[in-house]
Amino acid sequence: MEEYSQHSLSTLLCGEDESCFNHFQDECLNFNFSPISDFDSEYIRMLIRKETIFQSKCSVQIEGSWRKRRDAVNWILDRRLHFGFHCRTAYISLFYLDRFLSRRSIDKEESWAMRLLSIACLSLAAKMEENEAPSLFEYDAEEYSFHGDVIQRMELLVLNTLEWKMSCITPFTYLNYFASLFCSEFRLNRAVELILAIMAEINVTDHRPSVVAAAAVLAAGRDQNLTNNMLEMKIDDVPSWGPVEREQTLFCYSLLQEIGRSKSNDDWMKSSSRKRRLECIDGDQDCPPPKTPKQ
């Protein structure tokens, strides 16, 4: 374990699995939503109008840190499972992280810097969203050990960088609305899974949460034979949306479809591997001998 309490914050400037859906009691069922009330519809439309896209002025910095950002996403999702956080807490923490990276850069050669930033963003998100937020020493950083005062100073740096604007709407807020609007029969757990998966592929500050939610509902639908015209007709039903939102939704939908196919292939490979191992156990003569560690 390395100690990084001696580092000044100024030096920073330059596996999800099925268990994550346990809190959805009907995760394996189709969800047929009845039309939502006019009051709910107006509330959602108000949220859509209030959505703000934090356009990245320093996108090169984020792109340069993309591999470390992906590691940060994986760590955040792992800690979400460990603490039992809501899915929206993970999304909000990454929203903070991407906003921070769009305004400041960190030392890309120091992996501990991204980990410290991840801890600070997740801790802040938990304080905003969870009934009980863990104490700072509970955020196990594995290969690194950060003193509580260092994490607190990083939290303050994040707060100041984001100008203390910590309110955030997440895609999960819109799932019911779009399911009702699109008259979609979809798998809620699949939509949630896709939203969590796309976090690793996009800068979340560049994509409106409502757009991500709409794409996730469509991608998680039972009808996977929707043509572009059919998709556009559904998207055009969203009040106040225009060509820009339609294009962004189609982009996210296409990306989610690709993610879904990739996950299906991975699941098939894992299933085939397990089947192969069972065949070997049953005495298949063509199975290769098991590997043994070198002496």
The pLDDT score that the predictor gives to residue 64 is: 55
DSSP for 185-213 reads EEEHHHHHHHHHHHTTTS-GGGS-HHHHH
pTM score: 0.75
Architecture of 53-168 per CATH? Orthogonal Bundle (1.10)
The pLDDT score that the predictor gives to residue 287 is: 39
| CA distance to 14, 29, 194, 195, 270, per residue, from 261 (Å) | 37, 21, 11, 15, 14
| pLDDT tens by residue, the chain, 295 residues | 444 444 444 434 433 444 444 444 333 333 444 556 666 778 888 888 888 555 444 444 555 567 888 989 999 999 999 999 999 999 999 999 999 988 888 776 678 889 999 999 999 999 999 999 999 888 876 677 888 899 999 999 999 999 999 988 999 999 989 988 887 677 888 999 999 999 999 999 889 999 999 999 999 987 777 788 889 999 998 888 889 999 999 999 999 999 988 766 555 444 444 444 444 344 444 434 434 334 4
Please list, in sequence order, all residues whose beta carbon lies within 8 angstroms of the beta carbon of residue 50, skipping any fewer than 6 positions away: 169
The pLDDT score that the predictor gives to residue 123 is: 96
CB 62 within 8 A of CB 56: yes
Q: Where are the domains of the chain?
A: 53-168, 171-281
The pLDDT score that the predictor gives to residue 146 is: 87
